[in-house]
Amino acid sequence: MDTIYALATARGKAGVAVVRISGPLAFLAVEKLAGDVPSPRRTALRVLKNSEGIVLDEALVICFEKGASFTGEESAELQLHGSVAIINAVLQSLSEIEGLRLAEAGEFTRRALENERLDLAQVEGLADLIEAETEAQRRQALKVFSGALGDKAERWRSSLLRAAALIEATIDFADEEVPTDVSPEVLDLISRTMTELEAEIAGSKMAERIRDGFEVAIVGPPNAGKSTLLNALAGREAAITSEFAGTTRDIIEVRMDLKGLPVTLLDTAGLRETSDVVEAIGIDRARNRAAQADLRVILLPSEGADPEMPPQEGDLVLVGKDDQGALSNSVSGKTGHGIDAMVSHIALTLSERASDASTAIRERHRIAIQDALVSMESARNEVLIGADRAELAAEELRRAVYALNCLVGRIDVENILGEIFSSFCIGK
């Protein structure tokens, strides 16, 4: 096993930079740079020197013994002054030590997985935790990182294994005079587990939304003030505005943290009949994207005007350009009137939906759970057909267990690891 090292903090100037080392030679590397190996898990202030005795930095050094570290391996941290030159000098010195090499992206976490410090779902939670930009994303990722999905999978798994064991027992004792009928208990175990899996699937779309962000589209006729409103929300001139109807053509996207929720706001072309070919393309795009968005803010040019798109549940229909707030349902990108109320409504609507989110946060999870459900459904049918189908029922249950094993990465890991770790940074 190689000993790996990497900068664990972001590149560039910073107060402190952390270099991580993990593997069998981690302590040796510390000894070469710091002169000794400080007591494990205690911060020690040391002067770091390279092999020629040149002082590189005064740093805090922490050693973690094998079996008691993030990776599970012998590891160490060098907490340096965060200067580019110091980081480069320290990384250079480490590279000169025989048996050490620079870590690949996510390699520390990969080792934590291999040493069973984390399961696969936790690794994915950790990836999301590092990516998290809003409060909702942080909470969701932390839940998965702390093992919530793995815990559930373990419960489902043991229910299915128990059902399989009950069935297998009847196969072994099929010759007995009065075999006990286990099917009610088996059916109950399967049904209850299926209900839980179905709930998990139902909430997974919402969990993916929290991960990737909600889309909120601003739609309405040309000149309603859509782009001005977007700019007001974004706090910058993201879209061109003008007094000419038909100014916006492409969809303009602005990513925002809306009261803790990740939201991509979409400004769209004003909807109208037009003979301008390019404008018509823009209007087509606007309609399609807006129809797919999680929520629409439909801007009307005046009170009582017909909405350009039929509002769906949760959509906001507002009259634009109402600078003084003369109307109750209105907004002005120019004066900011009504914007707070609008943002509150959007945040409330989306967070109500977000509360249905499950711990299955990725498509991979949803597919594994769906696979398990298909097998459980078949198992249930076999049990219902009768005792002579016991072997088939047990086989289907084993298949469902296999799918759950994939979910937490007990098996079939290698081919998905590459994809998962490609999103990690070096040093994690």
Ligand X SMILES: Nc1nc2c(c(=O)[nH]1)N(C=O)[C@@H](CNc1ccc(C(=O)N[C@@H](CCC(=O)O)C(=O)O)cc1)CN2
Ligand Y SMILES: Nc1nc2c(ncn2[C@@H]2O[C@H](COP(=O)(O)OP(=O)(O)OP(=O)(O)O)[C@@H](O)[C@H]2O)c(=O)[nH]1
DSSP track, 176-203: SSS----HHHHHHHHHHHHHHHHHHHHH
Instruction: Report CA-CA distances (Å) from 111 to 22, 41, 66.
Output: 9, 19, 12
Q: Which is nearer to ligand Y, 248 or 375 (CB)?
A: 248
Q: How much is the CA Rg of the chain, to the nearest whole Å? A: 29
Q: Binding marks (x or -) toward ligand Y, 196..235, rule CB under 6 A?
A: --------------------------xxxxxxx-------
Annotated binding-site members: 20, 77, 117, 223-228, 242-248, 267-270, 428
8 A C-beta contact, residue 33 and residue 49: yes
Q: Out of ligand X, Mg ion, ligand Y, none, which partner does residue 117 contact, by CB within 5 to 8 A per kind?
A: ligand X
Q: Which is nearer to Mg ion, 22 or 248 (CB)?
A: 248
Q: Which is nearer to ligand X, 70 or 156 (CB)?
A: 70
Beta bridge partners of 330: 319
List alpha helices for 4-147, DSSP H.
26-34, 84-95, 107-114, 120-131, 135-145
Interacting residue with ligand X among 22, 69, 93, 268 (CB under 6 A): 69
Only segment of 53-61, 67-75, 244-252, 367-375 that touches ligand X (CB under 6 A): 67-75
| Minimum distance of ligand X from residue 331's CB (angstroms) | 42
Q: Which residues contact 125 (CB under 8 A, 6 or more apart)?
A: 141, 142, 143, 144, 145, 146, 149, 361
Q: Give me the torsion for CA of 385, 390, 396, 400, rounded to 10°.
A: 110
Interacting residue with ligand Y among 65, 154, 257, 323 (CB under 6 A): 323
Q: Which is nearer to Mg ion, 247 or 351 (CB)?
A: 247
**Taking CB under 6 A as the rule, does residue 243 contact ligand Y?**
yes
**Taking CB under 6 A as the rule, does residue 145 contact ligand X?**
no
Residue 64: both structure tokens together: 């973690």
**Taking CB under 6 A as the rule, does residue 77 contact ligand X?**
yes
Tokens 């629409």, residue?
A: 296
Amino acid at 280: A
Question: Which residues, numbered 269-308, are part of the site for Mg ion (CB under 5 A)?
Answer: none
* Residue 307 phi, psi dihedral angles, 5° rounding: -65, 145
Question: Which residues, numbered 282-321, are part of the site for ligand X (CB under 6 A)?
Answer: none
Q: Is residue 262 classed as helix, strand or coil in its secondary structure?
A: strand
Q: Binding marks (x or -) toward ligand Y, 263..292, rule CB under 6 A?
A: ------xx----------------------
Q: Give the DSSP letter of residue 388.
A: G
Strands of 44-49's sheet, edge to edge? 44-49, 55-64, 75-81, 16-22, 3-7, 100-102
Only segment of 62-70, 129-137, 271-279, 346-354 that touches ligand X (CB under 6 A): 62-70
| Minimum distance of ligand Y from residue 237's CB (angstroms) | 11
| Minimum distance of ligand Y from residue 284's CB (angstroms) | 14
Which of 313, 353, 345 shows the shortest CA–CA distance to 328? 345
Annotated binding-site members for (6S)-5-formyl-5,6,7,8-tetrahydrofolate: 20, 77, 117, 428
Residue 43: CB atoms within 10 A of its CB come to 13
**Taking CB under 5 A as the rule, does residue 248 contact Mg ion?**
yes
Interacting residue with Mg ion among 227, 231, 332, 358 (CB under 5 A): 227
Residue 256: CB atoms within 10 A of its CB come to 18
Q: Out of ligand X, ligand Y, Mg ion, none, which partner does residue 69 contact, by CB within 5 to 8 A per kind?
A: ligand X
Q: What angle do CA 367, 371, 375 make, to 5 degrees?
A: 170
**Taking CB under 6 A as the rule, does residue 70 contact ligand X?**
yes
Binding site for Mg ion (CB under 5 A): 226-227, 247-248
Binding site for ligand Y (CB under 6 A): 222-228, 241-243, 245-248, 269-270, 321, 323, 332-334
Binding site for ligand X (CB under 6 A): 18, 64, 68-70, 77, 117
